[in-house]
């Protein structure tokens, strides 16, 4: 059981990086749409 905890701990960092990457991409897409909507006004 000790090894399972260590493996999950080491997998957490890459998973966090991937989740953060997609969260930033989503935020940039939303920001870009709002910026384009402001330009049209």
- Residues 1-30 have pLDDT tens digits of 778 988 888 889 999 999 999 999 999 999
State how far the Cα of 25 lies from the Cα of 22, in Å rounded to an integer: 5
pLDDT at residue number 1:
74
Mean predicted confidence (pLDDT) in 22-39: 95
Span between the terminal Cα atoms of the chain, in Å = 60
pLDDT at residue number 9:
86
pLDDT at residue number 39:
85
pLDDT at residue number 2:
78
pLDDT at residue number 6:
87
Q: Residue 29, Cα to own-chain centre: how many angstroms?
A: 12
């Amino acid at each position: 059981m000790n090894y399972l905890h260590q493996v999950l701990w080491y997998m957490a960092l890459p998973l966090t990086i991937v989740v953060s990457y997609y969260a930033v991409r989503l935020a940039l897409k939303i920001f870009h749409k709002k910026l384009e909507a402001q330009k049209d006004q």
